[in-house]
Amino acid sequence: MLYNKNIIVTGSSSGIGLSITKALLKNKANVFGVSRRNPSISNKNYHHIKFDLSNIETEYEKLNNLFKEKPIDGLISNAGTGKLDSLENFSPKQISEFIKLNLNSHIIITRILLPYFKTINNGFLIYIGSEASYKVGKYGSIYSACKFGLRGFVKSIRIETSLNNIKVTQINPGIVKTPFYNNLKISPGNEHDEFVEPNDIADIIINVLKIRIGTVIDEINLTSQKQIIKFKSKN
């Protein structure tokens, strides 16, 4: 079902994006990975597009032209970064840059692909959100603003494209055991039931993509069984 499909994965070089990429390749899809770093993937069906999505507003046409070179079947919009802190510890520049990557890049890359998908009357859009899309926490004001904004955007696009045979899904994981948390004030727990694995999300995406034509999964929320969060010491 995914054989020879051309699928864009943003943030494909590590963490969730890398797991998604490997799962798609295992299912014989062609993956166009958009990231700043080229992951160590040796597969003829993987094609790396070196691009800094935090600059997508100024380099819009460059990415637009790259995508025109191949017929694209779908997008998995995953790229993002994390910073949890009190609002006063963000400079105006940091706030702007954070929103560019964690919200604007998802919207603009959709803007690039949507006219094409509407023209061919087909395609899929999958967005990796977060439990911060519907649940707020301490030090998460900017991060939650981006994720709440993404969720509103996805819900609107879902309605806008429903008559164009475009499937739109958002996946909202809780705390995932990836390098994402290396420089944050929180981290996953240590036991297997205290975090989500990147492969859990990749498996869900494969199942979403294999569902019958005409059925759409709007949104999936997943968390660890125990939902343990560790706060790191200041030392």
Domains of the chain: 6-231 (3.40.50.720)
Residue closest to 18 by CA, chosen among 39, 36, 2, 49: 39
The answer to whether residues 142 and 95 touch, using CB atoms and an 8 Å cutoff, is yes
What is each CA distance from 215 to 2, 3, 40, 154, in whole angstroms? 17, 20, 35, 17
pLDDT higher than threshold 70 for residue 29: yes
β pairing state of 229-231 and 186-188: antiparallel
Q: Mention every residue, 6+ apart, whose C-beta is less than 8 A from residue 26.
A: none
Mean pLDDT across the stretch 82-107? 91
pTM of the entire predicted model: 0.91
- What is the model's pLDDT at position 107? 97
- What is the model's pLDDT at position 230? 64
Mean pLDDT lowest for which of 77-81, 124-128, 205-209? 77-81
Q: What distance lies between CA 181 and its chain's CA centroid?
A: 16
- What is the model's pLDDT at position 185? 61
> What are the backbone dihedrals phi and psi of residue 75, each rounded to the nearest 5 degrees, phi first?
-125, 135
pLDDT band, very low/low/confident/very high, at 40 (cuts 50, 70, 90): confident
Cα angle value 52/55/61 (rounded, 5°): 95
Radius of gyration of the chain (CA): 17
pLDDT higher than threshold 70 for residue 104: yes
Residue closest to 206 by CA, chosen among 58, 37, 19: 19
